[in-house]
Chains A and B, each alone.
Chain A
Amino acid sequence: MINKKTLANLIVIVVLIGVATFINQPYLRHVIITACIFSTLSMFYNLTYGFVGIYNFGFAAFFGIGAYSSAILSTDVGIPVVFSMIMATLISALFGFVLMIPCLRMHGYTPGIVTLAFGEIIRILIIASADLTNGEMGYWGIVPLFESDQVYLIFAMIMMIAVMMGILMLMRSNIGLAFHIIKDDQLAAQSVGSNIKAYKLLAMSLSCGGAGLVGAFYAHYLMTITPAICGMTYTIQILCMALFGGVGTIVGPAIGGFSLTVLTEALRFLNDYRLLIYGILIVVIIMFFPKGLMGVAQKIKELLESKLKMEGGSEVNVNVED
């Protein structure tokens, strides 16, 4: 059943989690938890943007919806945290589903701007309904999910790995094939009889529901949230992470999310220049490495392979087509 490769992967994962449990520096632990949160988010973002080709510029709003609904449900209403997180996931998925329905008829960038407008509406509404969400001041005193930080770390890592596995399985199934063909050519997808609308709705609900789940986890981890988490800044940050790792790949966004979070922490000594460097990074990536880190890795791999072939001697003349 289990072949060598999956066994090796499993061992790596178990070792990683095992090592992680022994980290007892609070700051390092916080950085890793945040990195896990963002890499999960960018994997979910990649699900619509990278695999199906739906522009979603209001992604952070779904993150915010999940965070706020779980916080309110658990702290004000008094539902157990696990159930409130599940409900938050379903609520964000529902929002994504409903928002996607009018977007199905639009083409090009229009859905992107509609989601952007939706995100702004959500942010303004959260600020405006101050008696429920405490408005601009932020919502604090949220019930925690676990007692110790160690458990948060393990949960965040398991969440990230589970999401990666889930997306891997999804993309290898028939649904994944349908996603690919919809991205490449909608007309062709329609003509071979795949139901584009259903698949797009599915992708959007999955992605938004996932954002809601991560948002709920974020809320119960930090125990304070502000309306700013629904803003464009977060969407841009998540988009950059997906791009940095490589859009349209499975592992890419996770690597991007992890490395950019760690990088921003490492760049803390730059203070005010951090945002500037972030912007320059986006432009440089898109100009010179449009496929992100995964694209760079691919290129290096190809280069090595062709080098090996050259050294082999017999196939020197075959490689002219590059």
Chain B
Amino acid sequence: MALQYIVNGLMLGIVYSMIGVGFSLIFGIVRVLNFAYGEFFMIAAYAAFFLASVFGIPIWMVFAINFILMFAVGWVSERALIKPLRYRTDAHGEHSGVIIATFGLQVILQSLALLLFKGTHRGADNYTSGNFMVGDILISNERLFMTVVSIVVLLCILAFMKYSKVGCALRAVSQNRTAAQLSGINVNMVYGIAFGLSTALVAIAGTLLLPFYNVYPTVGVIPMGKAFSVTLIGGLGNIGGAILAGPILGVLEALASGYISTQTKDAVAFACVILVLIAFPGGLGEMLKRIRTEWKGIRR
């Protein structure tokens, strides 16, 4: 039974990785905590619901439309809300104004959704159905589909960050904004792209998880919690750490809901986050970095 939980947790955990990577991307590049992140998930889920269930557009098209749509939404909200506030930093060089603004955006989007769609839960049919056995473990096609899509998207993002010119610019800005600006990178453009990319990632997650969570105006709380947990376990702004932390969180949650109760699984996840942070204040990403440098030292 434990193995079944672990496999289920791993498969869902990859989706959490994707949510976490999007969140980390904004923090790593724009240096902003986006509290409206969950609300972008909600918008994407509503869009997917209307596109797939009401208009009957094929699934792959839904993913593509949602990706582009949410990229635009992210870009626009960055331009409208984050850009004017970005240069106003406090004594520690942090954008405390921007997080408050994202709080505001969260409230606005949530109440708009409540006004437009009312509080009803809307669910969609599973994208695929059926399941198969591997040994003793039952694997549903739906979860497999989610896992495969997430892995593909994550690989695309990693390749984009590593090999494309824009990805290179993104990494440069995250390392040192001034130096990047001096070498001719349009930092404003990069911020917009980073924001758009992150909302596009959460849009894919929202589309994938629509049959799982249903959609209602406050659904954003769930992915928000996952994003926080994943990025904190992985280390704020650390993409590799976020990818690693997603499956860990998924397995933890699956085990907690299997052996304790489904009600407290989120509490268990959050408690683990706090424990990880007490042990490694910088998260797993920092731990990995330390191990790597020590390993290099040993080899020398």
Residues of A at the B interface (CB closer than 8 Å) are: 53, 55, 102, 105-110, 112-114, 116-118, 120-121, 124-125, 127-128, 183-185, 232, 236, 239-240, 243, 272-273, 275-276, 278-283, 286-287, 290
5 pairs of A and B residues whose beta carbons are closest in the complex: A279-B107, A282-B104, A279-B108, A275-B111, A283-B104
Given contacts A282-B101, A282-B104, whether A110 and B111 have CB atoms under 8 Å apart is: no
Given contacts A239-B100, A243-B100, whether A275 and B85 have CB atoms under 8 Å apart is: no
Among listed B48-56, B125-133, B154-162, B261-269, interface-contacting one: B261-269
**Is there contact, CB below 8 Å, between A110 and B267?**
no
Q: From B88, which residue of chain A is reached at the shortest CB distance?
A: A290
The reply on B270 being an interface residue by CB < 8 A is yes
**Is there contact, CB below 8 Å, between A113 and B264?**
no
Which chain B positions have C-beta within 8 A of A275? 107, 110-111, 114
Given contacts A105-B281, A109-B236, A236-B103, whether A272 and B273 have CB atoms under 8 Å apart is: no
Partner of B266, one of A112, A124, A282: A124
Which chain A positions have C-beta within 8 A of B264? 124-125, 128
Contact residues of B between 236 and 290, Cβ < 8 Å to A? 236, 261, 263-264, 266-267, 270-271, 273-274, 277-278, 281
**Is there contact, CB below 8 Å, between B263 and A236?**
no
Partner of A121, one of B90, B109, B228, B267: B267
Given contacts A108-B236, A113-B228, A128-B261, whether A272 and B114 have CB atoms under 8 Å apart is: yes
Partner of A183, one of B91, B221, B281: B91
Given contacts A105-B281, A118-B274, A272-B115, whether A128 and B105 have CB atoms under 8 Å apart is: no
Q: How far is the CA of A43 from the CA of B112 in the complex (A)?
A: 30
The reply on B97 being an interface residue by CB < 8 A is yes
Name the distance in Å between A190's Cβ and chain B's nearest Cβ. 14
Interface SS of A by simple majority = helix
Q: How far is the CA of A112 from the CA of B264 in the complex (A)?
A: 22
Which chain A positions have C-beta within 8 A of B103? 236, 239-240, 282
Which chain B positions have C-beta within 8 A of A112? 33
**Is there contact, CB below 8 Å, between A113 and B105?**
no
Q: List 15 A-B contacts (CB under 8 A).
A: A102-B278, A108-B94, A110-B232, A112-B33, A118-B270, A120-B270, A127-B263, A184-B91, A232-B221, A240-B103, A275-B114, A276-B108, A280-B108, A283-B105, A286-B100
Which chain B positions have C-beta within 8 A of A278? 107, 111
Name the distance in Å between A280's Cβ and chain B's nearest Cβ. 6
**Is there contact, CB below 8 Å, between A120 and B266?**
yes
Which chain A positions have C-beta within 8 A of B263? 124, 127-128
Given contacts A275-B114, A279-B111, whether A121 and B270 have CB atoms under 8 Å apart is: yes
**Is there contact, CB below 8 Å, between A124 and B228?**
no
The reply on B92 being an interface residue by CB < 8 A is yes
Which chain A positions have C-beta within 8 A of B106? 279
Which chain A positions have C-beta within 8 A of B236? 108-110
Name the distance in Å between B130's Cβ and chain A's nearest Cβ. 34
**Is there contact, CB below 8 Å, between B274 and A117?**
yes
Q: How far is the CA of A102 from the CA of B97 in the complex (A)?
A: 25
Name the distance in Å between A283's Cβ and chain B's nearest Cβ. 4
Which chain A positions have C-beta within 8 A of B105? 279, 283
Which chain A positions have C-beta within 8 A of B271? 117, 121
Q: From A288, which residue of chain B is reached at the shortest CB distance?
A: B84
Known contacts A102-B277, A120-B266, A279-B111; 17 further A-B pairs (Cβ under 8 A): A53-B92, A55-B96, A102-B278, A108-B236, A114-B274, A117-B274, A120-B270, A121-B270, A272-B111, A275-B107, A276-B107, A276-B108, A279-B109, A286-B100, A287-B85, A290-B88, A290-B97
Which chain B positions have C-beta within 8 A of A232? 221
**Is there contact, CB below 8 Å, between B270 and A283?**
no
The reply on B76 being an interface residue by CB < 8 A is no
Binary interface encoding of chain B residues 40-84 relative to chain A, with 1 for a CB under 8 A from any of its CBs, else 0: 000000000000000000000000000000000000000001001
Name the distance in Å between A41's Cβ and chain B's nearest Cβ. 17
Given contacts A53-B92, A110-B232, whether A117 and B108 have CB atoms under 8 Å apart is: no
Which chain B positions have C-beta within 8 A of A286? 85, 97, 100-101, 104
Given contacts A236-B107, A276-B108, A280-B104, whether A109 and B33 have CB atoms under 8 Å apart is: yes
Which chain B positions have C-beta within 8 A of A184? 91
Which chain B positions have C-beta within 8 A of A185? 91
